[in-house]
């Protein structure tokens, strides 16, 4: 549970790790966008090559990326099978009831499959090489223009980083409460779905209460250390946009141009 929520940051040291998290964050979204521009074998192969190159640069074992596929493997298989058997075609290779297997279907299914792999690999690359706190810092930095419309950007960023900081603590708290309930005879793995859901109510309420008391303690601790309202604060963690980040953006632009050249219209 812990690993699932915290992203799967993997401590390491390579070019990708040292890139500015803002750049990584935005470029990841950008890449997910341009994946949808690819529409032929060459363009998909090119994007695949790009992603594998990025994975290579990160110096992270490919196994970690394949693990990233695991949680949604059923969604991928379902989508691929749907495309495979339900793509209408004039020249079906095989036909049975509403199921049709054709060359076009196979091509589209494999495109979809590659698309999934591209998107998951690149977002896994972001979460593996960027700490949650860096991501929250980049969100703060990206949202900064909203300050002009009185959106409390610094407060939201602090909230986000405190939330991230307290996830493991709340997971511990949940385990404690569950153990306490188990000691009094609750079996969380038994009964039908409704019964199982019901048995979680006695966990949620104490968890709610204790998270409020933690929040109270933390608020007192923050206030005692001079936290007022987020105004006039300086920042210890400063993001530095460097030459290599410019280079990455230029490289990404080149990738886009090549992609536009080799895709079919």
Partner 1 sequence: MENIISIKNLNYTYPEAKTQAIKDVSLDIKKNQWVSIVGKNGSGKSTLTKLVDGLIEADSGSIEIDGQALSEESIWDIRSKIGIIFQNPDHQFVGATVEDDVAFGLENQGMPKEQMVKEVDHALELVKMADFKNRDPQSLSGGQKQRVAIAGVLATRPQIIIMDESTSMLDPEGRQTVLDLVQDLRAKQDLTILSITHDISETELSQRIVVLNAGRIVEDSDPATIYNLGADLTHFGLEEPFSSELMSQLRGSLELPTGYLNEEELMDKLWKLRSKK
Which residues of this chain interact with partner 1, rule CB under 8 A? 131-133, 161-162, 164-165, 168-169, 214, 217-218, 220-228, 232-238
**Reduced 3-state DSSP string for the chain:** CHHHHCCCCCCCCCHHHHCCHHHHHHHHHHHHHHHCCCCCHHHHHHHHHHHHHHHHHHCCCHHHHHHHHHHHHHHHHHHHHHHHHHCCCCCCCEEECCEEECHHHHHHHHHHHHHHHHHHHHHHHHHHHCCHHHHHHHHHHHHHHHHHHCCCHHHHHHHHHHHHHHHHHHHHHHHHHHHHHHHCCCCCCCCCHHHHHHCCHHHHHHHHHHHHHHHHHHHHHHHHCCCCCCCCCCCCCCCCCCHHHHHHHHHHHHHHHHHHHHCCC
**What's the min distance (Å) between Cβ of 59 and partner 1?**
19
Which of residues 49 and 215 has its CB atom nearest to partner 1 in the complex?
215
The distance of closest approach from Cβ of residue 238 to partner 1 in the complex, given in angstroms and rounded to an integer, is 6
Least Cβ distance, residue 227 to partner 1 (angstroms): 5
The least distance separating partner 1 from the CB of residue 29, rounded to whole angstroms, comes to: 23
Q: 83 or 136, CB closer to partner 1?
A: 136
The sign of the dihedral angle between the CA atoms of 230, 234, 235, 238 is positive
Query: CB of residue 207 vs partner 1: minimum separation in angstroms?
Result: 15
Nearer to partner 1, 94 or 227 (CB): 227
Cβ distance to partner 1 smaller for residue 79 or 131: 131
Q: Given the complex with partner 1, which of 221 and 257 has the nearer CB atom?
A: 221
Contact call for residues 12 and 59 (beta carbons, < 8 A): yes
How far apart are CB 100 and partner 1 at their closest, in Å? 53
Is 223 or 242 the residue whose CB approaches partner 1 more closely? 223
C-beta of 239: minimal distance to partner 1 in Å? 12
Closer to partner 1 at the Cβ: 108 or 164?
164
């Amino acid at each position: 549970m812990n690993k699932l929520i915290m992203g799967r940051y993997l401590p390491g040291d390579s070019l990708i790790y040292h890139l500015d998290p803002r750049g990584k964050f935005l470029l990841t979204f950008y890449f997910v966008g341009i994946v949808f521009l690819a529409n032929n074998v060459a363009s998909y192969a090119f994007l695949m090559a790009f992603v594998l190159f990025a994975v290579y640069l990160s110096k992270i074992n490919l196994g970690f990326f394949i693990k990233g596929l695991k949680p949604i493997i059923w969604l991928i298989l379902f989508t691929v099978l749907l495309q495979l058997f339900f793509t209408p075609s004039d020249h079906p290779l095989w036909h049975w009831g509403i199921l049709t297997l054709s060359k076009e279907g196979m091509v589209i299914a494999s495109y979809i499959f590659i698309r999934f792999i591209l998107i998951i690999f690149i977002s896994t690359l972001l979460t593996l090489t960027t700490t949650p706190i860096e991501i929250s810092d980049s969100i703060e930095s990206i949202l900064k223009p909203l300050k002009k419309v009185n959106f409390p950007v610094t407060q939201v960023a602090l909230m986000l980083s405190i939330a991230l900081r307290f996830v493991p603590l709340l997971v511990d708290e949940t385990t404690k409460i569950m153990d306490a309930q188990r000691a009094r005879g609750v079996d969380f793995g038994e009964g039908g779905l409704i019964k199982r859901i019901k048995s979680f109510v006695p966990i949620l309420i104490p968890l709610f209460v204790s998270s409020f008391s933690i929040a109270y303690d933390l608020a007192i601790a923050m206030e005692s250390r001079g936290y007022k309202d987020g105004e006039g604060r300086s920042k210890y963690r400063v993001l530095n946009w460097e030459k290599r980040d410019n280079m990455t953006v230029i490289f990404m632009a080149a990738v886009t141009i090549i992609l536009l050249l080799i895709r079919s219209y």
